[in-house]
Structure 1
Amino acid sequence: MLLCFMGSIDRFRETVPLAELEREGRVQTSVDGRALALFHHEGEIRVVDNRCPHMGFPLSEGSVEDGVLTCHWHHARFELSCGDTFDPWADDVQTFPVEIRDGSVYVDPHPEPDEPPAEHWMRRLEDGLEQNLRLVVAKSAIGLADAGVSSDAVVERGVRFGSRYRESGWGPGLTILAAMRNVLPDLADDDRKRALYQGLVHVAGDCADAPPRFDQEPFDTEDVSFERLKAWFRENIKVRDADGAERVLRTAIANGADDAHLAEMLVAAATDHRYLNTGHTLDFVNKACEVLDHVGWDHGDAVLPSLIEGMATATRAEERSSWRQPVDLAAMVSETFADLDSLVESGAGTEWSPPASFTETLLSDDPEIVVAALEDAIREGASVEALAREVAFAAGTRVAQFATVNEFSDWNTVHHTFTYANAVHQLARRTGARELYRGVFDAAINVYLDRFLNTPPAPLPRPASSTETDLSVHLDELLDSFDVEGEVDEAGRRAAHYLDCGGDVSLLRERLAESLLREDAGFHTYQALEAGFTQAELRDSPEEVRTLLVAVARYLSAHFPTRREREQTFTIAARLHRGEKIHEEGQ
């Protein structure tokens, strides 16, 4: 029954006799479903949530001395009167107002929060990122989602943090966060929280112990054309002058260059040299552009300059022996690039369709045949987007047919080509910049160089009977195969047969992503899933979709299972958020 007190609804509830609390020093109780710990200390009554905000251990079993409450599980310490923690990894503990009436202790179990949940969890996310606190990041990702904060607002905070607090700029963590944002529509609700958590954890890890990045200023002029700025930018990247390149890029942003022009400037410089940093450089450019599509290009001045250090310092494939011996591939494509304008002009006004055997041609073991086929396609009107699409599929086929007799590290080789080709394709859909034809050739040359990893090619799974009715068996056995090391071919077969029997592509994608998010996956594994999903989404051919998702399943299987430490942390955070106990025997 609610009591009236001083003319208003009484929010306070009777808990324990004051004499009992004074005698015992502490009492634990539950009021309106809230577990409370009451302390009599230094003549004062203090009440806190009995669950330690770190990992839920009962604070009533802790100790109090000199106004400090210490949890005995992980030794988190709290200022008893206000609940603030000495230890940022622990979070503050909730305190509750107290009144003494007629010899009893009354507590308000539902006080007004000091700050709205969205503000609290965004602040805690900053703490987690700054101090690389995995559990804090997990709690924040869950809390922000449940507080109704949009995924893009969370991603924005992570991207701005990662762009600022890593001197070397854009790296794997930001790429993972951008990739996970891209696949959010494929995920179940809880896995969307996991995806953001995984991305944010990797951002925090990349920035841990790294110095921040300091900005260069734009030129104080609006009189320089975009074409001149673009030329200056390319020249500065060519001579590895990151500071000069940043000033030029910031000037283009300050002068109002739109997203297509900024992407054009970046991809021109990133394709002036061959296959920078085994493809990562252009993939980073693509991911930065994609994440700005989500969080807004008004953040471009905070995000895009983080790409420049990596562009200026990247290794260049024409400096590697594999591009020079026994065939001088760099010289071969340079001859094509010198004639690129005339090739494009020859195809102006015509529309190109890939021949039926085009994928097989791109998979040829003769680089001259590959280069000639690409040149012919441009003469016949192939746009950079259309040509990049075909090369991306050929690169995905290499992954789908990777022979497991190769060294394990060679998964990275075919993977790099595929994610690079995907980046070229996505950027071509954004800008259509002529310079991206060079990226198409770079990707195709790497498809050629990867030929030995398909020697012999692992056969694509044979088609399954479409009369099977229990499709869930294939999905269940697919997930089971990820629990066993080395089940690469079985994983590919289960994914293929699920589709052969009429399975829902979207459900297969959801289950593949679910499998990824429970693992301690590495950088490349996130990339592989997102690139495969992106390419499959753009295909009308069921056969191409099948090949690409087989590639994803096989790649994931090759890298699973792991210890799943990050999933354990997320599970703890989720159970704490739901108010569950995690410390009791049998849990």
Structure 2
Amino acid sequence: MSSTDRFREVVSLSDLERDGRVQASVDGRALAVFYHEGEIRAVDNRCPHMGFPLSEGSVEDGVLTCHWHHARFELSCGDTFDPWADDVQTFPVEVRDGTVYVDPHPEPDEPPADHWTRRLDDGLEQNLRLVVAKSAIGLVDAGVSADDVVERGVRFGARYRESGWGPGLTILAAMRNVLPDLREADRKRALYQGLVHVGDDCAGEPPRFDQDPFETTDVSFDRLTEWFRENVEVRDADGAERVLRTAIANGADDARLATMLAAAATDHRYLNTGHTLDFVNKACEALDHVGWDHADAVLPSLVEGMATAARAEEQSSWRQPVDLAAMLDETFADLDSLVAAGEGSAWSAPEGFTETLLAEDPETVLAALEDAIRAGASVEALAREVAFAAATRVARFATVNEFSDWNTVHHTFTYANAVHQLARRTGATELYRGVFDAATNVYLDRFLNTPPAPLPDPASGAGADPADHLDALVETFEREGEVNEAGRRAAHYLDCGGDVDRLRERLGEALLREDAGFHTYQALEAGFTQAALRDDPAETRTLLVAVARYLGAHFPTRREREQTFTIAARLHRGEKIHEASSAE
């Protein structure tokens, strides 16, 4: 089709000169055509910010202003003065024999993927939620992979937050992990939620400035690991970063880099209530998705947090009334001999091992772990058992406790999950210390199961339609305080033969519509991760009951972020935001 053939008749020039503007629908495109300062300009009539008709705006001195939120546009090219809006599309015009013609289908100035990538950068840089939402939707619809979207967010968050890796990047990595568990429509929401939190974390923050690696390739990886741990020990973040960058530049693979980081993160007890090691794990998982060739941009963001982390052995709860830190020091001094004793042996958890880990006596717990290592328990196998014990604390959390105590059992569980996932990655002996740290916190959390909330009775769900329980579960999230009911409905759904994948899907859907906090994202992702690794239906049941109860404790919220996403989705579909939707 020639360029001339693409033009469509819109309005007579005399009418346009008289009225100054006209609204028209041309080949399905809603256009606003203006006569201003002797020139004819045609733009998309939908304001790119929130869809209000620009034909109802005003034009002065070459500037088109939308009257809804006062977004301003340079009329000749459509570029916006206001980054929170977007450039409005302009259309070529011609005048033939006193009639104005418009080409409603011009060649795009840039491919959609390039446009939305640029806008995502704008949204992250200026912490603009609606722009981030539009970009996440636009990128997915343009065929950009989730990993490419995540890569953009991860590299931004690792660079533009002086204190380094934080909650936002952790949420983004967690949401990427659970994407396969979600409905296709919710995958855009998951990316949006993760990216929004990255933007929030970086808002007002100065960027990180990189240290350079050493100009040597002659230092062994073992020596570099020693140096890294020594620098973290004395809280020298700059020195530690140079060592880490040297290991990356010298070609250390993902397992070795993870081992280096995990060793330093377990040299002291339960750093920053477990967040430090969880951040290490999430950074590694993010790189699994976006590629380990980005390690030099991502892993150094962990160092500041590691070097400045609070150390649990400095807290009274680890020293009084029982000196747990000293007990662990004795165990760790003997760790190599424990591991050596178990070489060549195969270990499986004995019956009742979970209840042993939940015991009231710390010596009982530590002795059980030591005996397991002597019997050949790998760090991965032992971490798996401790992670389940930690999840059981959440599933049995007594609601008579203070609300903030949910964080306590949550931190133990997500830390234990991080130890388990890193152990699956590296199998490093140093991670046994993380196993003991997690088990010690399971012991310290015992009072939050006093008395324990009972796990739902399996028999009580027999004979019901699983879908009824699933719908009732989601309804509990509409009311405050329905913690036990949420756990019961999740359990009974499974008891009645409900599909585990469908339960995960609905739990994810419930999470993504809320203004969930950092810990809630962590809780769902850790629960899903652990459940996916279980063959025992009873363990899967307990893990998903824990997730449901945690969500039930923290929902409902105001759902402001969901409102923003809904607006972006409706705009992307071409709907008019200022008019009631069919759902409304």
Bucket of the pairwise TM-score, normalised by the shorter protein: over 0.9
Is contact 1:21–1:40 with CA below 8 Å preserved after alignment?
A: yes
**Shift of residue 361 of structure 1?**
0.2
Structure 1 position 214 matched with structure 2 position 225: no
Task: Tell whether the 8 Å contact from 1:78 to 1:86 is kept in structure 2 after alignment.
Answer: yes
> Is the CA contact (8 Å cut-off) linking 1:466 and 1:502 kept in structure 2?
no
Task: Indicate conservation of the 8 Å contact 2:461/2:493, yes or no.
Answer: no
Map of 2:11 onto structure 1: 16
Q: Can you give the 5+ residue segments of structure 2 that lack an aligned partner in the other structure?
A: none
Aligned partner (choices 459, 471, 476) of residue 476 of structure 1 = 471
Residue identity (%): 85
- Are positions 1:457 and 2:462 aligned together? no
Give me the whole-angstrom Cα distance separating, in 2, the residues matched to 1:507 and 1:279. Answer: 30
Q: Which of 412, 421, 427 does residue 426 from structure 1 map onto?
A: 421
Any conservation in 2 of the 1:230–1:265 contact (CA below 8 Å)? yes
- Select between 460-469 and 381-390 the one with higher mean Cα deviation: 460-469
Query: How far is the alpha carbon of 1:464 from its aligned partner?
Result: 3.9
- C-alpha offsets along residues 12-40 of structure 1, whole Å, 9 cap, x if unaligned? 11111111111100000100111000000
What is the 5 A alignment of 1:227-376? 227-376=222-371
- 3-state SS in 2 of match to 1:45: strand
Q: Which residue of 1 aligns with 2:178?
A: 183
One-letter identity of the residue aligned with 1:88: P
> Whole-Å Cα distance in 1 between the matches of residues 110 and 160 of structure 2?
27
1:165/1:211 contact within 8 Å kept: yes
* Residues 521, 562 of structure 1: 8 Å contact kept: yes
Match of 1:87 in 2: 82
Tell me, in whole angstroms, the C-alpha distance in 1 between the residues paired with 2:224 and 2:14: 78
Match of 1:406 in 2: 401
| Shift in Å, 1:469 | 5.2
The letter for the 1-side match of 2:241 is E
1:475-494 pair list within 5 angstroms:
475-494=470-489
1:30 aligned residue: 25
Tell me the distance in 2 between the aligned counterparts of 1:475 and 1:135. Answer: 31
Structure 1 residues not aligned, in runs of 5+: none
Q: Residue 542 of structure 1 aligns with which residue?
A: 537
Shift of residue 466, structure 1, vs aligned partner: 6.4
Q: Look up the SS of the partner of 1:521 in the other structure.
A: coil
Cα displacement (A) at 1:190: 1.2
> What's 1:508 paired with?
503
The alignment covers a number of residue pairs equal to 582
Counterpart among 115, 121, 125 of residue 126 in structure 1: 121
Q: Deviations over 1:105-126 (max 9, x none)?
A: 1100011100000000000000
Deviations 1:281-314, CA, capped at 9 Å, x for gaps: 0000000000000000000000000000000000
Per-residue deviation, 1:467: 5.0
Question: Aligned to 2:91, what secondary structure does the other structure show?
Answer: coil
User: What SS does structure 2 have at the residue aligned with 1:39?
Assistant: strand
Q: Which residue of the partner structure matches residue 117 of structure 1?
A: 112
Q: Distance in 2 between matches of 1:465 and 1:434?
A: 44
- In the alignment, which residue of structure 1 is the partner of 2:374? 379
Q: Secondary structure at the match of 1:14?
A: strand
Question: d(CA) in 2 for partners of 1:315 and 1:350?
Answer: 37
For 1:509 and 1:363, locate their aligned partners in 2 and report how far apart those are by CA, in whole Å.
Answer: 27
Match of 1:524 in 2: 519
SS of 1:53 mapped into structure 2: coil
User: Is contact 1:520-1:566 (8 Å) kept?
Assistant: yes
Instruction: Give yes or no for contact 1:465–1:501 (8 Å, CA) kept in 2.
Output: no
Aligned equivalents of 2:304 and 2:461: distance in 1? 52
CA contact (8 A) 1:464 1:501 kept: no
1:13, 1:468 → 2: CA distance? 64
* Cα deviation, residue 225, structure 1: 0.3
Q: Distance in 1 between matches of 2:579 and 2:461?
A: 49
Distance 2:329 2:481 in 1: 41
Q: 1:470 Cα deviation (Å)?
A: 2.4
- Residue 140 (1) aligns with residue 135 (2): yes
SS in 2 for 1:419: helix
- Structure 1: how far apart are the matches of 2:445 and 2:580? 53
Measure, in 2, the Cα distance between the counterparts of 1:101 and 1:558.
67
Conserved? CA contact 1:486–1:557, under 8 Å: yes
Contact 2:465 2:496 in 1 (8 A): no
Offset at residue 9 of structure 1 (A): 6.6
* 1:224 and 2:226 matched: no
How well do the aligned residues superpose, as a CA RMSD in angstroms?
Answer: 0.9
TM-score (norm 1): 0.98
Indicate the larger mover: 233-242 or 102-111. 102-111
- Choose which of 48, 71, 78 in structure 2 pairs with 1:53: 48
Q: Note the C-alpha offset of 1:103.
A: 1.3
